[in-house]
Structure 1
Amino acid sequence: MKQTTIFKRVEAIGIGLHKGEPIKLVLEPLDADMGIVFVRTDLGISFKAEPKNVINTQMATVVGNQNGFVSTIEHLLSAINAYGIDNVRILLDANEVPVMDGSAISFCMLLDEAGIRLLDAPKKVILVRKEVEVKQGDKFVKISPSNNPKFDYTINFTHPVIGKQRYVFEFSKSNFIKEIARARTFGFLKDLQKLQAQNLALGASLDNAVALDDTHILNPEGLRFENEFVRHKILDAIGDLSLMGAPLMGDYTAFAGSHELNHKLTLAILADAKNYEVATLSGELLKEYGKVFA
């Protein structure tokens, strides 16, 4: 199996979640072994999407350096990961990826428009060889060896609408589009008011998030899935793990995970060469994992 990039340049404009201003997003093809590269066109700087470039995980996953950064990258990266795209240049004229409708479906549509092109280089995957777990109190995320990658996620909120939810997602592009891509980010009205007092979440609205007060969902259309909340957490995790630099072939399990724990998991995996193996997707490995990219 070969590495991929997008077939043609595509662009979109959307609102930034935190600044509330229009942002231009452009995706461009990139050569083999270049990975996913963010470019701040307004600053003339770029940085690769990889764990060492993650500088913040408090509100979203943020990559950058002392000269600039890009925030809220996880939804776009989730779609790129699910589509099996290995190399792409992401150009932005602001410090965050536009939130679109709060899910990944708009990015899927953009990738459908761009198309996928095969490159003359073998596709690489990261095979999980040992279980790796990161804990924080009763919260945890872990990865374990598997030839049929899955995301098994549990959340537990005291909010009456959410409560305890669990979803097991068998990873593939087609399953992602059907089961995960449309799940929106969510937030609580009491938190939004605090954030906006700090000039954050200025672009948040019922058009790009599921909003909840103390007892109800505020969106008049309701939910897209009965368990949309946990599905969105899986969407986030897929995007966060894409920072590994190649598709991660293992089972991901989480209880009350977060961007912070996902980032720590990527660092923990990379900290010991016995935890993983970077392999070419061919021969027997292609038979085992090829369906993931179908």
Structure 2
Amino acid sequence: MTIGLLGFQTTIAAPVTLRGIGVHSGAPVGITFQPAEANSGVIFSRVFQDGSSVEYRAVSSQVGPTDLCTILGTSPAKWVATIEHVMAALYALGIDNVMVEVDGAEMPIMDGSSFPFIEAIEQVGIVNLGIKRRYIRVLKPVRIDSGASWSEFRPYDGTRFEVEIDFTSPLIGRQSWNGELTAQTFKQELSRARTFGFMRDVERLWAAGYALGSSLENSVVISDDDTIVNVEGLRYVDEFVRHKTLDAVGDLALAGAQFIGCYRSYRGGHKMNANALKALMSDPTAYEIVEAPSSRSARVRAREFVPVSMPELTPGFA
């Protein structure tokens, strides 16, 4: 893998706003991406009607519940939910520093994918801040198991995802997506994959206060007789595993830095992704912080990155 721009930090060139509804709350919500200075990281700011606000760094230590989505914060009155599609877009495009202002409890679901966020960011452009980006390089395998499910990080000279799902539904069955993660690959192969669910689960989710904003406009729905309810069908033949990979990209973005390594999972989900990341970040012998070397070349290989001494920094818990 080669890294363009010598691995410099970036932000967006100008503010951009999107509006939609929350997939779980069903409530209208707006978000504004704001440019941020180098070393700011990704910050979510929930703004309340009285003008007060609460901020969360998009890092592992701030993650709350992960049952149906990824949430920052632990109090329902203050948390910011369903951040994974936004985080996936930011990570894939290499946006290191941005303030995400939100006027509700969760991100707008838009069409159920990351593509609207990709479009919005590309509309305003990306700025090179001239400060070197730091990466997390995986040094040894780190694995977690939960029943038949497992997730693991492995050393790899690049950034790679190998995600496999296995559903009893014949419509989905066993699917896998394996590939190098680049901005172009994410945009073409993963960004448009939508969240999905089964019709048989709808009443249970509604009774629990979830999926109140879910519709055929933002979700792939599978009927009780195992067919796709959406008239337009699937965007990809294997859209289900592609969306699970998209989610994994967004969840692992909460490392607080881009990572160099391979992430593999079988029958994973938000909770498995979060726990695997915490397992990696909890073992200081499993990774190192690196940056691109000083070079006149426009591109350098990941294996050429050099460790930086930062004992005070554990990215995922900053």
* Pairwise TM-score range, normalised by the shorter structure: over 0.9
Helix, strand or coil for the counterpart of 2:185? helix
Of 36, 41, 51, which aligns to 2:42? 36
Displacement of 1:198 after TM fit? Answer: 2.3
Of 22, 25, 40, which aligns to 1:16? 22
Alignment pair present for 1:49 and 2:58: yes
Displacement of 1:231 after TM fit? Answer: 0.4
In structure 2, what is the Cα distance between the partners aligned to 1:195 and 1:187? 11
Of 235, 238, 244, which aligns to 2:246? 235
Q: Which residue of 2 aligns with 1:175?
A: 185
Alignment map for 1:128-143 (pairs within 5 Å): 128-143=138-153
Q: Which residue of 1 aligns with 2:31?
A: 25
Displacement of 1:99 after TM fit? Answer: 0.4
Q: Which residue of 1 aligns with 2:300?
A: 287
Displacement of 1:190 after TM fit? Answer: 1.3
Alignment pair present for 1:4 and 2:15: no
Helix, strand or coil for the counterpart of 2:151? strand
Helix, strand or coil for the counterpart of 1:226? coil
Alignment map for 1:80-229 (pairs within 5 Å): 80-214=90-224, 215-229=226-240
Residue ranges of structure 1 left out of the alignment (5+ in a row): none
TM-score normalized by structure 1?
0.95
Q: Which residue of 1 aligns with 2:263?
A: 252
In structure 1, what is the Cα distance between the partners aligned to 2:179 and 2:114? 16
TM-score normalized by structure 2?
0.88
In structure 2, what is the Cα distance between the partners aligned to 1:143 and 1:50? 18
- The amino acid across from 2:300 in the alignment is K
Displacement of 1:279 after TM fit? Answer: 1.0
Tell me, yes or no, if the aligned pair for 2:15 and 2:35 is still in contact at 8 Å: yes
Q: What do you get for the CA RMSD once the two structures are aligned?
A: 1.5
**How many percent of aligned residue pairs carry the same amino acid?**
38
Deviations 1:43-92 (A, max 9, x none): 41111011110011001000124461111000010000000010100000
Helix, strand or coil for the counterpart of 2:73? strand
Deviations 1:123-145 (A, max 9, x none): 11111111111110110011101
Equivalenced residues, count: 290
In structure 1, what is the Cα distance between the partners aligned to 2:130 and 2:166? 46
Helix, strand or coil for the counterpart of 2:104? coil
In structure 1, what is the Cα distance between the partners aligned to 2:236 and 2:36? 35
Residue ranges of structure 2 left out of the alignment (5+ in a row): 1-5, 304-318
